[in-house]
Amino acid sequence: MNLFEHPAFDNHEKVLFATDPETGLKAIMAVHSTVRGPAVGGCRMWTYPSSEEAVTDVLRLSQGMSYKNIIADLPIGGGKSVIMKPEGDFDRDALFEAFGRALESLGGQYISSEDVNVSPSDMVAARRATHHVVGLPDGTGDPSLGTARGVFMGIQAAAARGLGSEDLNGVKIAVQGASGHVGVHLCRHLADAGAELYLSDLRVDALTDLARELDAQIVENPEAIYDVEADIFTPCALGAVINPGTIARLKVRIVAGAANNQLETDEMGDELVRRGILYAPDYVINAGGIINVMGELDSRFDTDWVAAKLVTLKATLGEILDAAARENRPASLIADEIARRRLANAAREKKWAVG
């Protein structure tokens, strides 16, 4: 595997491979950019089929965090980490403490929080070896609540443009990954707004209580979520769900959800435009969690600041969607152009400041 020639490398500043045979830790930490401050982004644990797939995931996620943080105008850079889940039984606390030791070796250039299959208690274990973790129970807590709130507001902005109104009462929404940390909170927001929900998850049994609580329908076969006739498809699981095998099956007018890297390739953004489906760029709509985390990184950013920032984020998404409609171009491309331009400007400013 040649890292520098990897399609997703994108001039990452650092990539650290960390192992600990005693705990079974196999982790990859990717620092994409620190031009605005230390790289901040979550850690996810997943059963990757190969180390190559883990590398691809962490590189794409890390770049996405840089774009997310710069679009949200936060004074931080972008990074991400993944842990290849050990086979069989393992000591979870010991594993994350070993992760904390590896994180500490980066000297604060990367600050981690929780992501898929990682909880605040895991970050507590990591904190035994490093202070470079956030999203802690005694801090701002689980960032998924902030992510869910921001995605809900983003869905409103998308609905205003794709359905003609922010009002979600009676709007049919197919939610993928509904039992996850973000998915559960988001579904409650959507149900409170009167949306008609169709829920799917790899763990179908985990949906029973939620569906009963929200009077929602369960899609028994997780793969069938792409075939649901709805107004909005809301992916809240893993990435690359908009791909050549799924895009033709969508029967929706909007794709707007919490998952990272929803488009398998940039070309999928063009294909959504051709099919008349509005797409809310994932790293714009799902930035509520990292905004919430800022309250833990800097005491100046309190709950009122977070609430105001979410309103600004909703407006930013609206502006991107409006520009995409005017130019008949993918919203994902518009967002990428803005992010790259801001990162380039920040790099020049940092260079001038040092010089």
Catalytic residue positions, numbered = 80
Amino acid at 315: A
Q: Report H helices in 215-302.
A: 267-274, 282-285, 288-297
The 10 Å Cβ neighbour count of residue 101 is: 17
User: What is the token pair recorded at 116?
Assistant: 């898929």
Q: How far apart are CA 25 and CA 182, in angstroms?
A: 26
Residue 45 CA, chain-centre distance (Å), reads 14
Sheet holding 39-46, edge to edge: 14-20, 25-33, 77-84, 39-46, 110-114
Q: How far apart are CA 301 and CA 294, in angstroms?
A: 6
Start-to-end Cα distance in the chain: 37
